[in-house]
């Protein structure tokens, strides 16, 4: 599983305050703890107003790279902010994200092609929004994958997000995501599939129980990346167990190593 650590996100109150006050200790602590927990990318979302987002993004990238070598996932719809990040990154990042919406195709996609970055593709557009069927979502995915490949990106640089809508608002909503994951896996075997999993439990009690169960089912169908809080040991434990049970963990070493390092399972009294 490719884990994209989600915590450096300016739409969270504490992170937003740290960005405003240029509190590098706070941001660096978040970066380090997510790196230690096994992230492969760190999501960076300044979440601030358009006029200051580029400055904030530049500061975040510099601040994070001072303490970790992990590649970043630049999270913005604002081309100026993305550009500010792209000019500073040490390693090839992933851009989060392009969709079938016109401003993103015109503003975000060209940057991904120019800098040859990884790219998250969201299965929605401005005509239908989020389609209520897997076929509708796949129509957008096909269009986006074609544009990205024609622009020179390789299939394995693409992270398709088939999208997750809340189970509380429609009891078949998880099924749409399953069908989409299956269809993406079949059409683009090299592409990665990622999701913001926690949308599934919006409006429900016991959200983490729902999130974990849902993640398992998605992994079974081909999900191989997730945008999550890597410090959530319950979620990480379920993820590693599911990967192992899918035959993707040689001699169960990822699972065992995480156990020995104390990253999963009940906390030991030290």
Partner 1 sequence: MTELNDLFTAVADMQEDTAMELTRKYLDKGVPAVEVFECYQSALEEIGRRFEQQIYFIPELIMSGEMMKASAEILKPYLADQAKDDAEGQKKLGRILIATVEGDIHDIGKNIVSMLMDLNGLEVKDIGVDVPADKIIAEARAFGADVIGLSGLLTLAFDPMKAVVEKLAEQGLRDQIKVLIGGGQMDERVCEYVGADAFVTDAVHGVNYVKGWLGESVQS
List of residues contacting partner 1 (CB under 8 A): 10-11, 47-50, 77, 101, 124, 126, 129-130, 165-166, 168-169, 171, 202-205
Smallest gap, in angstroms, from Cβ of residue 50 to partner 1? 8
Question: Quick one: 68 or 165, whose CB is closer to partner 1?
Answer: 165
Evaluated on CA atoms 239, 99, 70, 193, the torsion sign reads positive
Q: Please give the structure tokens belonging to residue 46.
A: 């300044």
Smallest gap, in angstroms, from Cβ of residue 169 to partner 1? 5
Smallest gap, in angstroms, from Cβ of residue 103 to partner 1? 8
Q: Answer yes or no: are the C-beta atoms of 98 and 149 closer than 8 Å.
A: no
Q: Please give the structure tokens belonging to residue 239.
A: 């993820």
DSSP letter string over 45-104?
B----HHHHHHHHHHHHHHHHTT----EEEE-S-HHHHHHHHTT-SS--EEEEEEESHHH
Question: Quick one: 37 or 57, whose CB is closer to partner 1?
Answer: 57
Smallest gap, in angstroms, from Cβ of residue 148 to partner 1? 21
Q: Answer yes or no: are the C-beta atoms of 224 and 202 closer than 8 Å.
A: no
Question: Quick one: 21 or 25, whose CB is closer to partner 1?
Answer: 21
Smallest gap, in angstroms, from Cβ of residue 207 to partner 1? 10
Q: Answer yes or no: are the C-beta atoms of 15 and 47 closer than 8 Å.
A: yes
Between CA 75 and CA 77 the distance in angstroms is 7
Question: Quick one: 86 or 124, whose CB is closer to partner 1?
Answer: 124
Smallest gap, in angstroms, from Cβ of residue 198 to partner 1? 12
Between CA 138 and CA 149 the distance in angstroms is 16
Question: Quick one: 75 or 249, whose CB is closer to partner 1?
Answer: 75
Between CA 213 and CA 243 the distance in angstroms is 13
Question: Quick one: 36 or 106, whose CB is closer to partner 1?
Answer: 106
Question: Quick one: 22 or 207, whose CB is closer to partner 1?
Answer: 207
Contacts of 61 (CB under 8 A, 6+ apart): 44, 72, 74, 84, 85, 88, 89
Smallest gap, in angstroms, from Cβ of residue 213 to partner 1? 16
């Amino acid at each position: 599983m490719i884990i994209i650590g989600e915590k450096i996100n300016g739409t969270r109150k504490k992170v937003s305050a740290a960005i405003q006050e240029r509190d590098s200790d706070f941001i660096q602590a978040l970066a380090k703890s997510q790196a230690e927990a096994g992230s492969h990318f760190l999501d960076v979302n300044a979440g601030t107003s358009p006029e200051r987002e580029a400055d904030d993004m530049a500061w975040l990238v510099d601040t994070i790279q001072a303490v970790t070598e992990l590649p970043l996932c630049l999270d913005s719809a604002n081309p100026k902010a993305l550009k500010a990040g792209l000019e500073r990154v040490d390693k090839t990042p992933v851009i989060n994200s392009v969709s079938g919406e016109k401003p993103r195709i015109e503003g975000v996609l060209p940057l991904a092609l120019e800098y040859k970055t990884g790219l998250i593709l969201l299965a929605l557009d401005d005509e239908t929004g989020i389609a209520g069927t897997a076929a509708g979502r796949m129509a957008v995915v096909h269009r986006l994958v074609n544009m990205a490949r024609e622009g020179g990106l390789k299939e394995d640089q693409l992270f398709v997000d088939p999208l997750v809508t809340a189970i509380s608002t429609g009891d078949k909503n998880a099924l749409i995501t399953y069908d989409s994951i299956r269809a993406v896996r079949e059409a683009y075997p090299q592409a990665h599939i990622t999701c913001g999993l926690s949308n599934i439990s919006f409006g429900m009690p016991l959200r983490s129980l729902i999130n974990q169960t849902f993640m398992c089912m998605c992994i079974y169908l081909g999900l191989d990346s997730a945008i999550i809080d890597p410090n959530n040991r319950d979620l990480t434990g379920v993820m590693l167990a599911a990967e192992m049970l899918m035959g993707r963990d040689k001699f169960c070493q990822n699972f065992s190593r995480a156990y020995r390092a104390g990253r999963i399972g009940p906390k030991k009294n030290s």
